[in-house]
Amino acid sequence: MTIRRNRIYTDLLRGTYRTIWGNWGLNPVIKPGAVGIIDADSGDFRLVADCLPGVEISKSQQSRKWDFKSSGVTCRSINASVGGVIFDPSTGTEVKPDAALEWTFDKENSITSEFAISGEHAISNLAILDDQYDWLLGQAHKLNMATKAGISEGFGVVTSVIYASSGVNAVAKKSKASFTVSGSASGLNRLLGEDGINGKGKASYVFTSNSNEVETHTLPAKSGEVATEPLPVAYSFASFAGSRVLIPSWVGKVGVLNLLVDSKASSLTTYTTKVTLSYQTPAGPVKASRTVVGGSSTSFGEIPLTATEMVLTAEFINIGPNTRKSMRWNTPASEWLGGTRTVNLKGTWPGAPEMIEVKH
């Protein structure tokens, strides 16, 4: 079975960054404006064209630590046990390593990702994707990533990239694995962004051990070197919904839209509510209604990605005049991350009821 490192890495990052894709192997071709295909199952990116025509990039400099670990991964300082002296690129002199860091992994395929972040680059105006749709469609057709309806999901453009100046990705090849990095204290601190990320000196390491137990992708790539250019550690990606509907934060195959209307979020919800969903499609308008009893839920599924001008109306049943509330999404395929949305119904009769949108 193929081990999908980049999928594991992406899932780890999405605990914090919901719209991001990981770049496990530090692939340098991933940059803002790059056109390509993401395999949602593996998380891998395949480059199609270096840059979308007409793209302008904005750049922000940052100085922060990037630190993500699977459960059961630990890092600790230990005594350096390397004999003799080694050239330290952080100082340009021969030194005796005076610091070492040891990572341990309880489980196979557990991950650590630690970097010194240097900045983020992004496409200045996402409207360029619509302006260049015909060009993108032509590229997609060449790779069987388009139909008569338009560009297929997974084909699109890298919209923003997080760059690191130094650091390491590491994954355990077996349970109870460990590896050690040795070097000068200042070089190791800058390598992982512990301190002095933009200070004097350069990030480096001069020795590693137990490399057979882990797979690593390091910046700089080799012991005794200094990184010359930042590399991407993660990125955001835009695709299309089988038509000209842009999905600005594409996080995986959507297919259709699904809306859950739920009155179970609060045990105090007692209203019976009539909910009506209406929207426009290329084939014409669609309208559907459901009745939700307090403590139950209903869903509207199989909504096409081309749905627009969507309105959800809730009519809370009272003895007197009913209370009506509504919410609207102009292009839900662009607004609902992953193609799903939940709306909670709340209220204890005869108090004022509420509709609350839950963004996943």
- What's the pLDDT score for residue 1? 40
Residue 360 — pLDDT band, cuts 50, 70, 90? low
Bridge partners (DSSP) of residue 188 are none
**What token pair was written down for 37?**
């295909």
Between 59 and 227, name the one with better pLDDT: 59
Q: Are strands 231-240 and 21-22 parallel, antiparallel or unpaired?
A: antiparallel
- What's the pLDDT score for residue 198? 46
SS3 333: helix
Q: Are strands 340-346 and 257-262 parallel, antiparallel or unpaired?
A: parallel
Q: How many CB atoms lie within 10 A of CB 272?
A: 16
CA gap 44, 33 in Å, rounded: 17
Q: Are strands 214-219 and 155-172 parallel, antiparallel or unpaired?
A: antiparallel
Mean pLDDT for 38-59 is 96
Q: Give the start-to-end residue ranges of the domains of the chain.
A: 5-247, 257-358
Are 236 and 160 in contact by the 8 Å Cβ rule? The answer is yes
CA 273 to chain CA centroid, Å, is 36
- What's the pLDDT score for residue 124? 97
Q: What is the pTM of this model?
A: 0.89
pLDDT per residue over 143-178, tens digit each? 999 999 899 999 999 999 999 999 999 999 999 999
Task: Calculate the average pLDDT of the chain.
Answer: 89
CATH fold of the domain at 257-358: Immunoglobulin-like (2.60.40)
